[in-house]
Each structure stands twice: as C-alpha cells, then as structure tokens.
Structure 1
C-alpha cells in the first residue's frame, strides 16, 4: 500500500463515523471495558482515541464526522434484500452511540447525518465538492468501498493502522485502479451488505475479468472475448454473465457511492475543531477516561497535552562508563531515602538471563544506566560486570537502603545467578497497581505509565526490532539502549509516587501490599529457582502410551462414523455428527453453524458414542502436547529441573498463576492426568511432601456467613458433605449413601460459586425441580449462607466491590449492569470472590510464614511448588515425620477463623504418591 504521497498539511478530513463505530466496538470487545457503573465504554474510548489522533496529526485541518441515518435509504427501494442479513446492532454498541455523538460534538466537530442516504454518500458528495474546488480530502475509514472515491485530490486514511491509500495504493491493494472498484464490487457482490453480484465470481475471477477486458460495460460489449482469458472457468463465464446481467447491473447501482446528494452542509461550513474542554472533562469523568481528564485539566492550566506535562520534569539520563561516574551515583544511592532499580538482560528466562546493565533513579527525571556487556561492533569500553556487582553488592544486599522496582522478582532471580541476595525491597509498582485494582487489564510498566502518568514510554520493539530479527539487549547500541534503560528506572520511581499516593488512601489495601504481596516476592523467587525434579523418561513412556490410545480412539471413531475423518476439524465433525449421523443440534455458533464445543459434546456424549470418543481423544491430545511431550523439553540442562514462573499480578481474586509450565492446570480428575504428577519426583535421600488445605473455601464460607450449622459441623470435625447430605435428604448421618454424599458435595461447592438449580441439575443429571428442592433444603439447613449471599450481593451493588477477610478488594464493574446475564455473573462473583480471595490470601500468608520458619529451623527442606491450596516440598527422609507435623501447624495458623483450618499432608517418592 502506498504511503509515499502525503496529504497536504491541512486537507479536509471526512470521518466515516459508522465505520469507526463498528470497528471500534469489535476491536474493544475482548477487553470488555466498562466504567464502575457497568456502562460499556470500549467503543467510546477507541472512537475518541482515533478522532484525537487525527486532530493531533492534522491540527490545522477542518474535520467533520458523518454517520448513517436511521431508517431505509434509496438502496432499499432498489433492492428490498439490501443489508437484510445484517444482525441487529448489539445492545452494548447501541448504548455507546449517543455518548460517542456527545463526544464528537464536544471535540468541536460537526456531526452530519442525512436522511435517505448512507454516510458513504454524504462523504462521496463532499469529497467531490472539495475536489472541484481543488481542495485535498482525507477520508478516514476502514471501508473498502470507499476506494472508488480515491483520485488525485482524495486519499483514504485508516486510523487504526495509521496507513494512507492514494491512487497507487488502491492499485497495489486491489490490483485495479479506483475507477474499476465499483465494477469489482458489482461482479463479486458483498455478503455483508447482501449485494448479490454474479454467482460463481470471486475475487480472483473478478480481477481476471477487469484486468483482461475492462469494466462491466466493456465486459458485456465483449462477451465473446472472455473465453480467451486464462483463468479457471473462463469458457463458461460469458454465459454466467449473460444470465446474471440484471443482478450485475443492480449490484453496480447498489455499490456505487452517490456523489450528488443534496446536503444541508457544504465544505465551506466545515472548520478547524474548537473543542469544549469543560464538556469533554464532564464526559471523560462519566466514562472514567482518567488519562484524558489529566490531559485536559493540564490544558486548562496552560498545558496542551500529557507530553507537555512530561516535559515539565527536566530529564537527565546519564550513561555511566567509568568508575568515577559510578562512584558518584553510588553516593547518591547510599544517601537516598528510596531508589528505583532495574536490570537489563539477554533473556526473559531468568534461568538463562545474562546481566547486560543496570539502571537506577533517585528522583523524578534523573536516572542513570550502567552498561557492562554491550558487545556490538564499535561498543565503547564499559565497566566489567564483576566490578559493577562488587561495588553494588553492599547496597543491593542492604535491608536499610530501600528499593523500588517494577516486577522485582525477576531482577532478584537474575542477581541470584551472580550470588547476590536482593534485600530492602520497599515497593514494587506492578504489585502496588495490582493491589489497588486487580481487575485492571494489565500491570506492565508501559501500560501503567500511560494509565497513571499519561506518558508513552519507549517500547522494547522500537529499539530491538521484532520477530526473528529482534536483537538481544547486549546487541543494541548505547545511543538507543541507555535512554530506554534509564527511562525504566525513572518511570518506575514516578509510578511508585503516583500509585502509592492512591494506595495510601486505602489502609486495608496498603496492608495487603505490605503484609501479603511484598513479603511473598523473595519466597516465590526462591521456589522458582529451586525448581522441581522431573523424570523425563517416565513422561516419554506416557507419551508413547497416550499416542497408542489416541490411535485406538481414532479407529473406534472411524468405525462409528463409517468413514475416516479429521477428529480435530470442527467442520468435518459437524458434517459427521449432524448431517450423516443425524444427531440433534443443541447449540449453534454465532455464525449459525452447529456447535462442536466442549460443553456441547459433553451433553451429547451422555447418549451418543462418537462425541464421547472425540472428547476422550481431545483430552489425551491436550495432555500429550501440553505436558508429556513438552515438559521434558523444559528441563533446565544445568539444574536438571523444571523452573516455572509464578505470577502475582494476573488473576482478579489474588490467586497465583504459573507459566512455563502452568502447574495449576495439570489435570487431577483423570488417571492419565494424575500420572503426570508421578514424573515430579523426589531426589535421592528425600521424599515429596504435599500439604493441602482441606475444604478451605467452605470453611471460609462458614466464617463469613456465621451460619451456626456450618460452624458446628466444622468445629466438631464432621464430614461436611455427609452432614449436608443428612440434612438435605432427611436421613440419619450413618445412613447417608455415596450418591447422596456426592450430591451434597456438588451442592456445597456449587452454591459458593453461585450455581443455579439448572446448573446443579445438569451436574447431577437430575430434574431441575429436584435440584431446586435440594437447594431449598440446603438453605433451610444453613440459613446463614442464604443471608450472607443476599447481604454480599446488596453490599457489592452499593459499593461496587467486595473484599476478602484481609482487605483485598475485587471491583465488580458489571454489578449494576442493565444486561441481566452480565449482572448475574457479577453477583455470582460477588458471592465467591471473598472466599476464593481469602483462600488465596491464606496460602500466601502460609508461604511467607513457612519460608521464614524454614530459614530459622534446622530443616534442610526445599519448597518447590504452590498449586491451588497446596504447598509441595522436598524433605530429607530422616526429617519427614517431624516436618509434616510442624508444617501442618504453621499452615493452619496462617489465619484465625471461627472454624479450624485443617491441613492434610501426604508423603511419597513422587508428587502423586504424596496424595
């Protein structure tokens, strides 16, 4: 696409508002952005951002935004099926249209809507009017149809990709000039707008016809020449065109953008934007666009945007290349109350990362980068890594010299490779942000800088490149590397100042950071570096067995289907299940095809053999590719262990997550899944000990709800599932059957996750009315639980969040949503989050306490994994019995509840045996 031709400095800009609207909505749908009142704001944010970007790029240009009018247009009169297949506008988009209109007007832009025509026609008419006056026009759109308007005065700009398309760009993208775009659309048709086109003519055929002969008129004047063209189907194409001439000509009319609409506004009426700042601030506050509010409030004080605000801080970044300069900075660090610290390395994998340099900052805008291992051709002489670390060690290992960093666990792991123990961690900006609002989408430095400071930082890709050609940090020239690295330290310090100012206003949240998250950093660092010993041979054997079983399942599936097919192809599976085997369709995809999703197959598997075989095959395939094949490849060649990475700032509830590998997702409900844990083995002379909280969320429910029945059952050490079964099914405790206990277990756990009667019926395979009766009996037995659920829902709606026992907060932006499904989902979260979050807090507190105890005790024990409510250790055989009793006590004391915290511990030669 040609980007060589630049529009004049101040072209007329016509924004296709309707195109913006839909593209913005679908681009933001995955993030599902909403304000605290539950109002969707994704499309509003994206459209506003694109408009702001245009205005900033063309500050002197007159700009107008054009939207489609409601109701039918002349095209509907030409063809009643025009756009008939388009689904109705989604509710979440419809609710954002009016706010977008308000923001457009507040930005000082004319909002143009003309009855009876589409936005394209208004834009086309204005563009031609401007061209006639010799005025250049930029049309901001993502609509391919607009390419027909491009000429020497008209250029398209795609604001989402920031690309321009002129006449050469049209030729490059479509293979034809702008004047043939209408003919192109007429031949191909358009499924989105339901333009019929010529049956059997796709993009390649249309191009062959247009490039070989010319437009529609030329084609119909030269039907006899079409057979001479060299494309598939050319011999029969003349007949197709002749038979469908009426459709082709109708399609031509439908695809043609009108350029002669009688408009209420003319080009002369469109002026350079004059925004209404007060109104914009009001709207941005309503939709909680904090960065833009800061920009505008700064502008009211004489500052134009966030970049100007950033320039107010004098930026001085030093590159330290000799010991004299290093000593000057070490003096600054040693006298600073707090300094920001960051490492630059060769890899994101902490077990492989080599230190390339360090950066630090002591005040906003003043930072330094000390390179030690840049080795590109022409790199200047640098302080040696050994000398730098020797001089830095006293500061880095000092508890009294306080540090702040962004994701300091990584830096701690890197320094540990050089036998330096990072101490004195006062703050971590990633965790401060996470504790302040765990439901915010990301907590990386670039995102936080934009969110809290209104600053765009230097991105790593900007200095290192992308993909296979991306440079490692040691290969990047200091002219680029130093500002990037120094900025990291500077921005980290500024972020701490901004975020902590908010965090300190919430004593409960500040305590979560200080007492739970911060002390956990060194504990997780140690666990990661300890790693887990894995038997690769055992996994290899299991991989072979899984492959054999998958082959067998595939053959069985072929027998049932009566033919061979690709088990992994949804399309082929749809055909086999629903067309050839005539299995009833119980759910469809958004596009209307029969669904073969997991939950659909699970339901069908209750009655039909093929879905059951497919599910088992899928399960084994995932097990093989994710674990038995992959885990051996992840074994570190030096330590012979697997070293996962734990993430503190990912889940909304406070739970830890892990990657490379994901230990939390190793299946435990199937025999094949449990066999994977056999491969996590104890080293010689040791045993694996797995210590697990028993029914912790139910115990937390008892504490939070203060239901006397639950409190009594747990205090007496009763089997809670049997106790519940006895009450719900009205039988004596010793008469409870295995099936009744299983049902009670489903009720106990299901209700704390907000399960409905429908969900319980599905899980237990019973009638919905029976499930509803079970739930009714449950709440009669434990009325405090019902009371708690009602109270927490009301509290969540009133304040917009819920809290754990220790003050961790989970915001629920959809708790007041008008959409019932979204609101009910938020209500279910409101019920469960305090329990799941409190369980997360307890296991984190336990990890900190156990780590501290191990450091002070005589035990030679390694904590090697944390998975859900479980801690896993390697323990010397001679210390096992004593250790088990002691660790159970310490884990049980991690929280004081009104019911006992029960910890169960198992011992084995591998992780599975320890259960």
Structure 2
C-alpha cells in the first residue's frame, strides 16, 4: 500500500488569491470574511482528497526576511496589504488551528522556504509530497517525489508538467526566474528577457545561469528572437541576474522546531470553532460543527462575541503647540494610569537618542510629542529640554502609575537622555506598574511572541503599522527622526494606544488566575528597574587582553587546521560541509550517522560530537577547531567592538520574555554562553575586570535545582543530605553503589552526579549509559537503585506527569505556569518530550524565580544602604558585583544572606561567594 503524501499548503498564496478572486463577504457588523471562507473551503476540500495525510498550512510571518537584507527593493513595488485583508489574517489562523491543521509561521524566511525545507526532508525520506499552491516559484521544488497542485483550478504539475508549462526542467526554474525576473516580487532579472527568451536560452545551453554565462559566444546562434543582441545585454546585467538567482531560490534548509512526525492532523476544537464561526457569521458551518461536536459527545454553546472597535473611532494627535502640550500634561496628571512609549534613533538603549514620546490615557485616544525630527521642511517642534523638564516630575512620580510595552528600554532611554546638555541629568522613571510584554509572557510564555505587533493581532485582532511601513527597508531605511510627522505621529501614538488597550485586555485575563497575577506583581515587574540599572552600569573589559587572546586562538586554530590536514592526508576547507563530507565519509570511510534534507551525509556539530565520542581523530580536531572559532568570532574579536564609547563599558541586554521557563537570557553580548569548563572560556572571563580600587564579587547558588527537587519531591533521603550539608553526589553514590559514604570513589561520585542531574532533565538509561561509560543494562540498574533509595523522587515524577496530563500545564513553587500542548499527543515522541519538560520545568522555573527574587532583594539593599557596590552581571544562577575594596567583607556577608533568604524551602539554599580582580578569579 502506497504511503499517504505529506500535504503542504501555501496559506499566504491562497489568502491573497481568495481575497482578490472571490466575491467580498462581510458580517452584519462590517467584518470582512470572504478570504477566510475561501481559504477554509480549499482546506476542507484538500482534507477530503487526502484523508490520511499529514498536513502543514504555512503562512508568511510578519516582518522582513533575509531577502530584504540581500536586496532592499525586494517586493518594494507591492502595494500595502488592504485593511480588509489584514483584518482577516488572525481569524483565518485561528480557524486553521481549530480545525486541527498544523500551522507554521517562521520569522526571517517566507512560507515558500518553510515549504521547501519540509518538502525536501520528506522527499529524502522517500515520502511523496503534494504542495498546494498557485505560486510558479514552487515549480523549482518538483521532482519524482514532489508534485504541485492548484486547488483553485484543480491543475497539477509533475516533472513533465513543469517542462510542458515553462519549457524548462524543474532544476532550471530558478535560472528561468533569474533571467526573466518576477514583477510580483520585484526580482529584477535581465531587462528585456521574457519567458520564451529565458527558456530558449536555458535549453540552448543545456544548463543554468553558470553554463549560459560560460557560453555567451553561442547565444547569437540560438533560434531565439533578437539573439544577436542578447550577449551584450546579459553581460551588462550579469550581477543582477545572479542576485535575482539568489532571490528566487527557495531555501531548503530552514532550521525548524518540528519534524515530519509532528505534522499529524489534530482533533477539531469544537468550542473554538463555535466561537469563530459565530464571529464570522458562518451559520451553516456553525451548525455542522454543532452536529460534529455532538457525535463526539460534546455540547457546544454559541458564545457571545465582543464587537471590535472600528478604526474610525481612533483619535491620534501630534503635539506641536504649547496649548496642546499643556492640555496633555493635565490629562497625564489627572490619569490614574497612562501608557507611554519613546521613539528613538535606534534600538541600542545605551546609545540611541530620544526623538519623541507618546502617551495614552484612554483607549483609542493618544498623542505624540515630537522633539528632534530633522528632515527638510519639518514643522517647528516644542523645545526638547522644556518638554522633558515638564514631563520629568510626572514620569519620576511613583504614585502616577504607568504601563509600557518592554518598558525597560524606555526607562534606559529616558535615564540616558541629557537635559540641558547635562549627561547626569536624565529622567529616572518610576511607577511602572505594568508591562504588556511581561503580562503576556506570564499569562502564557509559549502561546505567542510577546512583541506589540504579535500581541495586538492576537488579543485585539488589530494589525499595527509596521516600522518598515513608514521607514522603508534595508540600506535606505530611515531613522525615526528622518520620518515625516504625517507618518511618524500616528505610528507613535498607536504604540501608546495599543499598549494601553493590551493592558486592559491582559490584566483582566491575569486577574482571573491570581497565582499568575502574583508572579507578575511580585517577581517580574519589580525586576524591570533592577535589570535597567544593571544594563546601564555595564561591565568593564580589558580590550588589550582580549586582543592577545584573539591572537592566541588564531594560532591554535592554525595548528588544529594543520592537524586536520595531516589526518585527512590533504588540505581542505574546514568550513565547507561538501569538502568535509567528502573527507569524512568518502576518503576516511567514517560511519554516516545522519543525513541532511538533501540526503547528503551530515557534518552538523551534533554528528561530529558523536563521531568524536567514538574516538575518531578528525572529528575531535574539528570540534576543537569549531569551539575556538566560535569563541574568537563571538567574544575575543567582538567584545572590544561592543565597548560603549560614552561609558567605556560593555552593556548587555537582558530579556525577561524569551525562555519558556522564566530564565533570563542576554544578548549583545550573550554572556550566558561563555564556557566555564574550558581554559579558553575562563580566559575570556578574565577579561571582565574590576576598575582600580574595586574587586569583583561573584555569588552563585550551589546545586539549586537539586535542592528544589528535594523540596518538591519531599524525599527524606535527599532532604537529609541537604539539611546536613552532605556532599549530595557522594551521598547518592553511597546509596546507589551500596557503599559507605567514606568509601565512595571519585568515579562513583561522578556517576552519581550524572544520575542526579540526568534524571532532572529526563535522561534515559541509554543516555546515562553513554555519559558514564557503562552498558545500558548496568545504567538501568543504577536508575532503578536510585529510585529505590529515593522513592519520593519517583513519586514526584509520576505525580507531575499525571497532573500535567490532566491540567495541561505545570507550575513553579510561586505559581508560574508552563503550558504543555503536546502532553496528551498521540505521537509518543511528542508526548514523552512534553513529559520530560513537565518534570524539569518546575525546577528550572523555580530556580529562575528565586534568582529574580534575589536580584530584587539585593538591589533594594544596595539602593537603601548607599554602599559603593553595584550588580554588573547576571548569568544563570550567579550575580557578579563591582565592590569597593574596603567594603568586600561587609558586602560578601550581606549578599550571601539576601540570596540565601530570598525564599524558604524545606532545605537551605547554599550561596558560594568568591572575590577577585576579574570574573574568573571571583567565580
């Protein structure tokens, strides 16, 4: 029996086609619905055609792609999406998901690239693929496994069909598009070359662009109209032809979080469909859904759908007169809560300049105050310093409550804005009671991205004006001060208005779950000003030392390169997967552990690591080389470039709303990934230094996740070990290996440590066996003995799995939730993965909550004490402070106390504190 094909649906293509081709439909309240109905009809039809197939419906994500970076004019001639289409996107997405179709939107690439990647992966696994699209670009993907179907016309294209339609083979389609261009995407091509000329040229040279440009001398002899003038034209536009080739090429190697096994159809969500069909007034579909729900034993009641505020009711003002400014000052002073936002020249909060501010005190009404717009013909603006001095008392008043979207950025911008040229005289914003980014994140960390555009679409069904809509893209993109006030004013005012409206929606949802409301008010919001201060403080680095380390790493890389050549018996490009694959698998005959989507033997890092573990010498050398190269490019070369010229320090950015578990992450630079177990990694930490007269103090929670495990599991053995300050790994070794505590060997302790941490992260017997160097049977025996000695841990794991399956989420000690949509998945791999997450997330999440609470406590103490000590870094479970030398002893004990007492568990929290002239010495 033949395998059912994977069906990949080009959702974006069909949305446009349905909108323009089908009659417009609207609800009684004026909501456009025609495109939604058209696309859903096509999906339902496809589902009937392929009832046993896995599916993916793929849409373009919002924002630019790598092609915009490659060519600023890419798709520049496309008109803006009509409002009547834009408003249908979110209900369409929700309907697709509610029907059970897997839906994908991947940032930075187009829907075509996601489809191409999945199609090639499936084809490599010998599974047939059907791509449902009306886009001719997709013809480049067609092969013996992949077919295109156009659901609107009923036509299909296989390999022969592509040749018949376009006059070239599928493998020449990219070259064909590169020559003739594509007006819909603004791919330039070669001027004057149309479809017939393009196909004639490619057939004539029996190849693609490369072969064509290598044989321009034969072009005049080809039976093509105007062939004699073509060589000069092709030569003149050669660069544009090859750029067009890149633009037209569909990526087939997009990193995806899902695999082919994850694309099974889910069960319809009848409640959600009832809500959507009521909103969209699809009456017959609503009745069908009711009947289907009853057949499955459910009773669905038609929901009441709230009416969406019409855009015509928006009142946005650009303030250019003192009278208008005075009016808004009064509004801000009288408001119980107002939203605010800053507009700046860039996204680096430590270097960007303030351009203007926007405010909202009630929904659908907002104002923008421009301060430093500088384009030709700009209207006269209010004096910058006068405006800031008038706003300063309001913004610094803790009793005047404020809401922002990613307010930490705005706090830093205003703190750094010099009033009257005085760099020390900025605005210290206080009273930020809510942050919509964090409200969304706490409500459900994985449900959506937490940027304002995504939140507005999800919670308000509102598509915001994008920055690129008013500023342009690529090299020609304007900074905000260069944008005309006719565009800048409404854009900025919308930011404040949407922030306020989002808060009103999200706060109501959080108030319905008191534990989450408490996480927001007691953990996340108090942390915002703390992180803002840490970012502004920055860390001092020794650029000269980093330069020396870069040279040393470069020399080691050259040595490793020579070693690799010696093992291979020839020179090759270590960075070329193709050359490396030929050396590893063809010349040296190493086992092929994994293949790429194109069916080639993989040279990915995980594969090389596994080969290195099997003691193959070349993969070992390559792993060392890659490690050195990454440290050099990411840190020793890059860190000196990231020193702020104003402060002479490095200012990382901390992100509260990224990691699903609540962990903080950092970027520019990412300090979380500097390795601590290698000499090279520790040397990079040595470049983070204390200024003269100061020391660095590093305070780190010891084994915090194991201690949280002991608290959650209430296991007497673990509780005893921690309460009595025993070496927990040694204690575990004594239990598992059945020896006295004093007789535990170093190897036994190492194995016990692997068991302790491995079980927290859901490690299998196979994984543990590999890590500690025993067979699987022996590894399983160790695990069984562990659970026999620590039965509370096993009970916790089983209890957590059950609770997660029943309620769909797990919680930290403080009530933070992590939702687990795959916890009841029919796919065993997805379900097992969700179960591992369910066991680990409460520990990781609680550890994240504890370090956040500790940071707030430490900051409060430092602020109130006035001591010359500041937190400069937070990495994992560690805080790094810059402390005046004569205060070290006092600060050491206070930090230890505040971190140890951040929370009370059934076991003590142990904090290890070190001091040194640099971060490595202090750790």
For residue 678 of structure 1, report the CA deviation from its aligned partner: 0.2
Runs of 5+ unmatched residues, structure 2: 1-16, 24-34, 63-91, 107-121, 134-145, 168-180, 235-279, 294-301, 418-425
Question: Residue by residue, what CA displacement relative to the aligned partner does 1:96-155 show, whole Å, maximum 9, x if unpaired?
Answer: x9xx9xxxxxxxxxxxxxxxx99859977889xxxxxxxxxxx9xxx9779559xxxxxx
1:81-160 correspondence runs (5 A): 87-88=126-127
Q: Take 2:196 and 2:779, find their aligned partners in 1: how far apart are those partners?
A: 64
For residue 603 of structure 1, report the CA deviation from its aligned partner: 2.4
For residue 317 of structure 1, report the CA deviation from its aligned partner: 1.0
Does the aligned pair in 1 maintain the 2:516–2:815 contact within 8 Å? yes
Question: Residue by residue, what CA displacement relative to the aligned partner does 1:191-247 show, whole Å, maximum 9, x if unpaired?
Answer: xxxxxxx9x6457769999996559xx9xxxxxx9xx9999xxxxxxxxxxxxxxxx
Match of 1:611 among 619, 630, 633: 619
1:546-625 correspondence runs (5 A): 546-605=553-612, 606-625=614-633
Equivalent position of 2:688 in the other structure: 680
1:488-507 correspondence runs (5 A): 488-507=495-514
Question: Residue by residue, what CA displacement relative to the aligned partner does 1:238-275 show, whole Å, maximum 9, x if unpaired?
Answer: xxxxxxxxxxxxxxxxxxxxxxxxxxxxxxxxxxxx98
Does the aligned pair in 2 maintain the 1:148–1:179 contact within 8 Å? no
Q: Take 1:7 and 1:516, find their aligned partners in 2: how far apart are those partners?
A: 47
Structure 1 residue 851 corresponds to structure 2 residue 851: no
Equivalent position of 2:435 in the other structure: 428
Q: TM-score, normalised by structure 2?
A: 0.74
Distance 1:394 1:42, change over 3 A: farther
Q: Take 1:284 and 1:565, find their aligned partners in 2: how far apart are those partners?
A: 65
Match of 2:876 among 865, 868, 871: 868
Equivalent position of 1:311 in the other structure: 310
Does the aligned pair in 2 maintain the 1:523–1:848 contact within 8 Å? yes
**Partner SS, residue 567 of structure 2:** helix
Q: Take 1:738 and 1:421, find their aligned partners in 2: how far apart are those partners?
A: 53
Structure 1 residue 690 corresponds to structure 2 residue 698: yes
**Partner SS, residue 692 of structure 1:** strand
Distance 1:718 1:371, change over 3 A: same
1:236-315 correspondence runs (5 A): 276-277=282-283, 279=285, 309-311=308-310, 314-315=313-314
Distance 1:750 1:552, change over 3 A: same
Equivalent position of 1:642 in the other structure: 650
For residue 618 of structure 1, report the CA deviation from its aligned partner: 0.5
Question: Residue by residue, what CA displacement relative to the aligned partner does 1:610-663 show, whole Å, maximum 9, x if unpaired?
Answer: 111111001000000000000000011121110000000011000000000001
Equivalent position of 1:457 in the other structure: 464
Q: TM-score, normalised by structure 1?
A: 0.75
Equivalent position of 2:888 in the other structure: 880
Equivalent position of 1:444 in the other structure: 451
**Partner SS, residue 766 of structure 2:** helix
Equivalent position of 2:382 in the other structure: 383
Q: Take 1:718 and 1:37, find their aligned partners in 2: how far apart are those partners?
A: 55
Distance 1:497 1:573, change over 3 A: same
Does the aligned pair in 2 maintain the 1:535–1:679 contact within 8 Å? yes
Q: Take 1:276 and 1:403, find their aligned partners in 2: how far apart are those partners?
A: 41
Q: Take 2:491 and 2:189, find their aligned partners in 1: how far apart are those partners?
A: 40
Equivalent position of 1:108 in the other structure: none
Equivalent position of 1:533 in the other structure: 540
Q: Take 2:151 and 2:331, find their aligned partners in 1: how far apart are those partners?
A: 63
For residue 468 of structure 1, report the CA deviation from its aligned partner: 1.4
Distance 1:894 1:205, change over 3 A: same
Runs of 5+ unmatched residues, structure 1: 1-5, 48-82, 101-116, 128-138, 150-162, 189-197, 219-224, 232-273, 288-295, 304-308
Equivalent position of 1:401 in the other structure: 400
Structure 1 residue 667 corresponds to structure 2 residue 698: no
Structure 1 residue 523 corresponds to structure 2 residue 530: yes
Does the aligned pair in 1 maintain the 2:60–2:105 contact within 8 Å? no
Distance 1:643 1:19, change over 3 A: farther
Match of 1:747 among 755, 766, 778: 755
Q: Take 2:303 and 2:187, find their aligned partners in 1: how far apart are those partners?
A: 40
Q: Take 1:214 and 1:41, find their aligned partners in 2: how far apart are those partners?
A: 53
Match of 1:826 among 821, 834, 841: 834
Structure 1 residue 472 corresponds to structure 2 residue 471: no
For residue 88 of structure 1, report the CA deviation from its aligned partner: 2.0
Does the aligned pair in 2 maintain the 1:427–1:496 contact within 8 Å? yes
Question: Residue by residue, what CA displacement relative to the aligned partner does 1:787-823 show, whole Å, maximum 9, x if unpaired?
Answer: 1111101111111110000000001111111111111
Does the aligned pair in 2 maintain the 1:713–1:719 contact within 8 Å? yes
Equivalent position of 1:343 in the other structure: 342
For residue 769 of structure 1, report the CA deviation from its aligned partner: 1.1
Equivalent position of 1:707 in the other structure: 715
Q: Of the two, which has the highest radius of gyration?
A: 1
**Matched residues, number:** 747
Does the aligned pair in 2 maintain the 1:699–1:899 contact within 8 Å? yes
Distance 1:281 1:838, change over 3 A: farther
Question: Residue by residue, what CA displacement relative to the aligned partner does 1:833-860 show, whole Å, maximum 9, x if unpaired?
Answer: 0000000000000000110011111421
**Partner SS, residue 313 of structure 2:** coil
Does the aligned pair in 1 maintain the 2:345–2:479 contact within 8 Å? yes
**Partner SS, residue 563 of structure 1:** coil
For residue 325 of structure 1, report the CA deviation from its aligned partner: 1.1
Match of 1:913 among 886, 899, 921: 921
Q: Take 1:30 and 1:358, find their aligned partners in 2: how far apart are those partners?
A: 29
Q: Take 1:34 and 1:756, find their aligned partners in 2: how far apart are those partners?
A: 37
Q: Take 1:126 and 1:34, find their aligned partners in 2: how far apart are those partners?
A: 26
Does the aligned pair in 2 maintain the 1:34–1:40 contact within 8 Å? no
**Partner SS, residue 595 of structure 1:** coil
Does the aligned pair in 2 maintain the 1:546–1:620 contact within 8 Å? yes
Equivalent position of 1:330 in the other structure: 329
Q: Take 1:468 and 1:781, find their aligned partners in 2: how far apart are those partners?
A: 64
